[in-house]
Structure formats: structure tokens, C-alpha cells
Structure 1
Amino acid sequence: MSHVSDAPSPGTAAGTLASISVPDRLETVFGALDFFDGLPLPDTVTRSYDALDLLRGIEVFLNCVPGGSMVAMRRGLRSLGIDSHTIGYTTPRCSSAPMLLTANTETTYGMACLALDQDGPTVIESPPNSLCVVSDLWQRYVVDMGIAGPDKGGGGKYLFLPPGFDGDVPDGYFVVRPATFSSWVLMRALGGAESLLQARIYPLSAAANPPEQHFVNFAESDFNTIHANDFSFFEEIDTLVQGEPPEALESELSGQLASIGIVHGKPFRPDNRMRSVLDTAARIAAGIVRTLAFKPRDPAFYWYRGSSWKNPWPSRSYEFLSPEGARLLDARAVFYYFGTASSPAMAAAAVGAGSQYAYTAEDSTGAWLDGARSYTLRLPRGIPAKDFWAVNAYDPQTRSLLRTDNPYPSVNSLSNAVQTLHNGDTIIHFGPTPPRGREANWIQTVPGRGWFVILRLYGPLESWFDQSWRPGEIEPA
């Protein structure tokens, strides 16, 4: 098609026109975009909307991973009968059977999902000597309970009020107002199952005579709490949007969701073209976030210069904010893709309180950890953990505990069998077969599979924060 030339109009500088114009053809990763004097031709209209829908789908995935994870968590717990009246827990300790994002084998967990729309105001009696956190269904931090909360670890009564509640509020409770009806309750009982079993959840209407608390031990149950990486991810997000007040969602993200057809009070019915685009978007986004997680380009992710050990909270902010107040979108996506429950007690723990974390999927040469090879990790003497430390191995596909012959892929200080060298250092071994005489310090891996590791410090000490103590790199044996 012929058209007017690119000659500048009278009074318009050629450089200015070039900077504000669109050429006849743009070569893009989505294919060529053709125009008639800036007007899109029919194929370009189609290709432009395909590209826009793909980009919006990728952005929605990356921004909504926290919510998708909560929907999958609630669905997985419900499959075991764990609901707003039942607490799921792990005893004697969590195994690799549950598909839970980066759970560990040392902590006695308790989990439940509130349903304030059904139960009304709800009371939680937190267990003593515990680290508990509540997140709303978009996985935004709501409150700490236990050691890091207002009850200071002595156990306390927390009253959760539904969004929009304007009734009378009785005295004697720590009052909490989440933005969503459903919230995920995570309990970590440092006193073990005996402490955890003191927890209670019941409607405020039953406070005078609370019902018997129901518990389900899921430590060895094979169930899935991990969100999808295909089109069904968007269906998970639609479930969240439809079930929660629209006010719980800020306008920018609400607009992104609306652009792909997810709107509160309206059915999500994408046509075949849109389903295909969104399926592709989810798969691309899942690949991108894995790159962000395991090969971050932001230097702030790395604990030490020249090291592969990474910090899941690169700005030490549980809200993933930079010092200037900008939302670190990559950091938020990374954390919620392989973890759950971000809280101040985790991101910026004080000396001797809370917990700290470091993770890596690389050996000292920068190569990915290979389940067919053997490796060692040296933890120098004086491991800075007042309560306990642990090293766990995980499956990079599921981001859950690595499934091997041993259902507890961990070496930790709670085990009396852990061996130390004469100088006080601890050597941890990884590989498909155990080193002779060092079986207590060995974590089995799977040939043909990758893996990654998380070092946890509960009650981290000053030498962790001032970096006078640091773990070694994972060395090929």
C-alpha cells in the first residue's frame, strides 16, 4: 500500500518527527507490526492485542503468585478436612510427603484457614512459645502471634473481625482486622506438639463455651498446596476475586485482572484464543520467576560478595519495599513462588529472635546442584542460632522437600547424631550415596534431578548479622 512520504511537515523538525512517529514496519518478538502512516493494518491489530494480552497475563501471574498460593493452600488443606474449625499440624515432624512450599522437617507446624464470612468474628488462642503469623488471602501480612506478637510467647487471645465489621468489640482480646474473609493461619510451635495442641480456633459467638478443638495430623499425608503454572492459575485467582470483598484489592492490580477478564461479580469466561494466550503467559511467567529466584541479577539478593548464598528478603522488608519506598516486584514474586508467610519476624529478625534464611541451588563453581554428584557444605564452628539451625534439601520443580528414600531430607542441630569435627566445624554431605561413617550428616539426593538447599537459623545471633560468621559454599566432592 502506498502512502505519503516520511518528509516532515512544514515547521516540524525532522528529528522531532522521527522520535514521535511509527515506521511502516516494526520487527518485534511478537512478529512484524505493519502500519499505514501510523495506522495499524488488520494483521497488526490482531497481533497487537495478542501481544498485550500475553504481557498482561505474565504481569498478572507474577503479581498474583501470593494469592494463587493461598488459594492452593486452602484447597489442599480442605482436602484433608482442615478448615476454619480444624487445625492441621505435624507430629512428630513434617515429612516430604506433603507438597508444601519450602516446609522444613524440624518445626511443629499448625495450619488453618479462617472463614469470617461464614463464622463471623473468630477467636484464635495462640499456643505458648510459638512463632505464628496470619496472612490474608492475598498473602499480605496481617499479624504476628506468639514470641513476635503482642502476647510475647505467653499465649494470647486474638479476635479476628470480618471486613466491614462495625459491631461491638469485647475487651480482653488482641483485635485484628484482615482485609479478606479468609486468612491463612501458620503456627510454628517451638515447644513441639504439646504446645501446638493448646491452640484453639472458634467463633466469638461460642466464646462462653468453646467447642472441642479438632486437629488433623498431616505430617505424612501426600497432598498438594501449590498453585498451577498453566491456564488454571487464572481460575485460581478468579476464585479468590469472587470470594473476597472488591475493596480488598488495590485498584492497580484490580485493573490488571480486569484487563484479562477477572472481575468481582462477573463470570470469568475467556474464549479459546484468550485461554491459549493466558496458558502461554502462565508458562512463560513461571519460567521467568524461576530465573529470578535461582539466578537473580539484583546484587542485593546475595548475602556475600562472590557467594551464591541468597537472601529471600533482599531489602530486609517483609513488604518487599526498597529504602526509597518502591515495591521490589521481582523480590516479591521470587519469595512467594517458593515460600509462604512474609512477616517482620522473618525478614528483619532481631538478634536472638525470629529466624533468618539463606538459599542456593549452585555449587562453588556456579554449576547447578546435580543429584547424581556428591558435595560437602562446611558450617564453621559457632553456628549463630540460639534456638536451632537446620539445612534442608528441596525439589526445584515443586519447591517442596526433596523426596528420597529418607522422608526427612535434613541435617539439623535438634538431632543428637550430628557429628562435628575436632575444631567444632560441621560438614554436611549431599549425594546419592552416604559417605562411610558420616551417615548422620548426609542428605540424600536423586540422580537425574536437581535440588536446592535452605539454611535456617532460629534465634539468629549477632555473628550472623555482622557477617563475622558465614557458611561455606557447597563444594563438589
Structure 2
Amino acid sequence: MGADASSKFTITEQLLQPESLYLTGNTSTLYALGYMDLKKEGPLVIELPPGMLGFVDDAWFRFVENLGVIGPDKGKGGKYLMLPPDHQGAVPEGYFIVRPDTYSNLVFLRASIKDGLAPAVENIKSKLRVYPLAKADNPPATEFVNFSGKSYNTVAPNDFSFFEGLNQVVQEEPIDAIGPEARGLLAAIGIVKGQPFKPDARMKKLLNEAATIGNATARAITYDPRIGGVYIYPDTDSAWTTAYADKNTSFESNGAMGLDARVLFYFNATGVTPAMAATTAGQGSDYALAYVDADKKPFDGSKTYKLHLPKDVPVNDFWAVTLYDTQTRSMLQTGQKFPTVGSQSEGMTKNADGSYDVYFAPEAPKSKEGNWVQTVPGKSWFTILRMYGPLEPWINKTWRPGEIELVN
């Protein structure tokens, strides 16, 4: 995408679009992402604009720190200082300090477009700055790379190349960034820090098969979850699920790692922060995912479905429904610019009682064009309902979305 330095930030100036293969990205917020290389550039300063919502994840996609509204600057903006894992010596004052365990780190920022896209873009491009601490007295300009509508692939491979990428992380990052058990598992297939990864033909074949099996296993765990704490309305036969089992973003419980819970999240998502699972009335966002219809059957792109949202949808800001391709877990590519419809959509209409009906079909039902998201015959899909500024009736479940029903 062209963001080949820490001082280059990607930004969705025209929002994220289906050409980009990005795990469950949405069209309802403005994204800005940076990849921090602390080995190459040393300590890095991030001057964060006000009003951001973001976090830092390390090279192993583990949570490091929150930024913005959910971080120590409380949405007022401020200067963050990211220190390499081997940093020694004094730490200057006047910064929010971030200490990751790896050299490479993802800075993931979102900005609300409640008041319009243009002011959100301007806020980031005029105020976000990233530069080495060593150049703080005369910081270089931060460049922005617009990746709206760009075709690229961030989805992890499901063949032997997955292990090549894994080896790259092991070689580039500190050895103690992961524990002895994880290092032992990697060593068992020939991935050892400081040694070349040269599997023979037999091992390559086995690893290629392992990646394929791993991908299939992750699909089964994600699309038909059998662990507890996943279904939002467990007392009913509802299909609506959450990305975090039991709202737990560490995936650990009773001293044990929830292996399926961790897969459930990471197969569909790019970054993790505890804030994603901490719902505050009237602030932030909360999500519900549906992989099957009201009859527990996978969605068929050739058929017509309807989602009923009862009146008084409990949001302080807005709601949106987005469709995803079950193969790529990225936005469904159709004839529409965005595979999304919601309360901010042009042409969206309410029923007489204030409720909404949303339709999913290859062709728009008559007189329902504004309430319709296009699907593709021969391709399955799943959906995410996003509630921005969710209110108490959503949180306490006294209001709930209908199941997605087959029309014809």
C-alpha cells in the first residue's frame, strides 16, 4: 500500500471499500493505520489528534495499549512515545509511554464520521504526526497514503507461505517476546531464531496440509461455535453472536487459554483491545454477528432474506449492517460501492411503527432499494450489525434485533 516507513500512515479518505481484502473492516468509520518499526528507527513519537479511538498491537497481534478516547489522553490528543523492547536509559517526560515486547507494532486508529467524513479526514491529516524521538527538535513530515478503493490482500495465507511469514516474525523479533512453550512448538517444525528455516520436500508437504487443515478448523470454530459465551441471547434459539466469548479479550479464563475463543476472534479480525468488548452506554460501538439464518442454515447469495429491527433502535449515533464474504472474511464484493446499509444511508425508510426492515438479495425488492444490500448468487455471506453509541436497551437486551429470515 506504500506505507513502507513508520512516518507513513494509511488512511481511508473515502472509507474502506470492498476492493480491499481486510478482515471485517467496515464502511462506517474512518481508518488510519501505521506500522511502527522500532528496530530501524528507535523510539518513536506519535502526536495523536483529539477524538481518536485506537490501540497498539504488537507483532504477535497481542494488545499493548489503548489510544485516544479509551487511552490515557482521554480523547484530548497528546504525545505518545513508543520505546523498543531493548530500550535502556532515561525516558523523557511529557509523553504517554508505550512499551511493547516487539519491534514491529500496529497502530490502529478510528475516527467517527458522525459529523461528516471530510472533517474527520482533516483532523487526522493536519494533526497526526509520527517521527523518531531523535528528530523531535525538527520532526520530518508525516505522509498519508490513501487506500480507499485500493486492491490489496491482508488475509493470512492457508498454505506453506504462512510458516515462512511466521519464521520471519521469529527472526526479526526478540526471542523472549513469546514463551518457551511457543518457541518449542515452532522449533518442532524447524522454526528457530538465528537458524535458517529450510524444510525438506516432505516437511513442506506436511506444513502445506497443516495450514489447510488449520484454516478449515478455524472456519468450523468461527461459523458454528460450540463454546460458551458466544451467543448473545443464549436463552433462545437466536443466531446472533459476539466476536469475544464472554466478552473476554485476553481469551484466558481460570488460568487457561481459551484456544477456540482465541481462534473465533482472530480468524475474523485484525486487531484486539479490551475496549472492543467494554460497552459503555451512549459511547463507542458494539457488534452482533450472524452466520446463519433463522432456520440455522448458511446464507445463500441467490436468495432473499429480511432482517427486522424493532422500533426505537437504541443507538446514540447510528446503526449499520455490513455483509462479508465467508471465504475472505472481508467485505462482500458486489455491484454496490459499499455492502452496507444503515440509519445514515440515503433512501433508508422506516416502517409506519418506526421499525426497519433490511433486505439481502441479488436484486432489490420492489420499492425497497434504500433498505437493500446486494448479495451474489453462488457465494455465501455473513453479516455484522454495528451499534454506534449503543444505549441501555441494547446493553441489557430488552431490545434485540430480529433473526434474519428467508423470504424466497
Q: State the TM-score, normalizing by the size of structure 1.
A: 0.81
Kindly state the Cα deviation for residue 81 of structure 1 after the two structures are TM-superposed.
3.5
Q: Give a deviation string over 1:318-361, Cα, whole Å, max 9, x none.
A: 11122x24221101112111102111110122222332111112
Q: Which of 161, 170, 174 matches 1:232?
A: 161
Q: Give a deviation string over 1:391-420, Cα, whole Å, max 9, x none.
A: 100001111000001120001233343211
Kindly state the Cα deviation for residue 157 of structure 1 after the two structures are TM-superposed.
0.9
Which residue of the partner structure matches residue 467 of structure 1? Answer: 397
| Counterpart Cα distance in 2 of 1:387 and 1:204 | 38
Which residue of the partner structure matches residue 108 of structure 1? Answer: 30
Which residue of the partner structure matches residue 119 of structure 1? Answer: 41
Which residue of the partner structure matches residue 401 of structure 1? Answer: 331
Greater percentage in helix: 1
What letter is aligned with 1:195? N
Question: How do 1:95-174 and structure 2 match up within 5 A?
Answer: 95-174=17-96
| Counterpart Cα distance in 1 of 2:146 and 2:318 | 23
| Structure 1 position 194 matched with structure 2 position 125 | no
Which residue of the partner structure matches residue 361 of structure 1? Answer: 291
| Counterpart Cα distance in 2 of 1:154 and 1:415 | 30
Larger radius of gyration: 1
Q: Which of 180, 188, 192 matches 1:263?
A: 192
| Structure 1 position 347 matched with structure 2 position 277 | yes
What letter is aligned with 2:390? P
Kindly state the Cα deviation for residue 147 of structure 1 after the two structures are TM-superposed.
0.7
Which residue of the partner structure matches residue 250 of structure 2? Answer: 319
Cα pair 1:385 1:458 within 8 Å, conserved: yes
| Counterpart Cα distance in 2 of 1:204 and 1:140 | 24
| Structure 1 position 435 matched with structure 2 position 365 | yes
Kindly state the Cα deviation for residue 250 of structure 1 after the two structures are TM-superposed.
1.4
Unaligned runs of 5+ in 2: 114-119
| Counterpart Cα distance in 2 of 1:88 and 1:275 | 35
Q: Secondary structure at the match of 1:389?
A: strand
Q: Which of 279, 282, 301 matches 1:371?
A: 301
Question: How do 1:11-26 and structure 2 match up within 5 A?
Answer: none
| Counterpart Cα distance in 2 of 1:243 and 1:106 | 35
Q: Secondary structure at the match of 2:256?
A: coil
| Structure 1 position 330 matched with structure 2 position 260 | yes
| Counterpart Cα distance in 2 of 1:298 and 1:361 | 15
Cα pair 1:128 1:154 within 8 Å, conserved: yes
Kindly state the Cα deviation for residue 226 of structure 1 after the two structures are TM-superposed.
1.0
Question: How do 1:39-78 and structure 2 match up within 5 A?
Answer: none
What letter is aligned with 1:267? P
Q: Secondary structure at the match of 2:153?
A: coil
Which residue of the partner structure matches residue 101 of structure 2? Answer: 179
Which residue of the partner structure matches residue 309 of structure 1? Answer: 240
Aligned length: 398
| Counterpart Cα distance in 2 of 1:422 and 1:196 | 40
| Counterpart Cα distance in 2 of 1:401 and 1:82 | 25
What letter is aligned with 1:376? K
Q: Which runs of 4+ in 1 moved over 4 A?
A: none
| Counterpart Cα distance in 2 of 1:185 and 1:338 | 18
Q: Which of 382, 389, 393 matches 1:452?
A: 382
| Counterpart Cα distance in 2 of 1:275 and 1:296 | 31
| Counterpart Cα distance in 2 of 1:437 and 1:101 | 32
| Counterpart Cα distance in 1 of 2:158 and 2:314 | 37
Which residue of the partner structure matches residue 227 of structure 2? Answer: 298
RMSD value, Cα: 1.2
Greater percentage in strand: 2
| Counterpart Cα distance in 1 of 2:196 and 2:10 | 33
Cα pair 1:94 1:105 within 8 Å, conserved: yes
What letter is aligned with 1:263? V
Cα pair 2:57 2:105 within 8 Å, conserved: yes
Q: Secondary structure at the match of 2:247?
A: coil
What letter is aligned with 1:347? A
Q: State the TM-score, normalizing by the size of structure 2.
A: 0.95
Q: Give a deviation string over 1:103-161, Cα, whole Å, max 9, x none.
A: 00111000110000011100112222121111001000011111111111111111000
Kindly state the Cα deviation for residue 82 of structure 1 after the two structures are TM-superposed.
4.4
Question: How do 1:206-285 and structure 2 match up within 5 A?
Answer: 206-285=135-214
What letter is aligned with 1:184? L
Q: Secondary structure at the match of 2:53?
A: strand
What letter is aligned with 2:405? E
Q: Give a deviation string over 1:204-238, Cα, whole Å, max 9, x none.
A: 11112221110011011001111100111111101
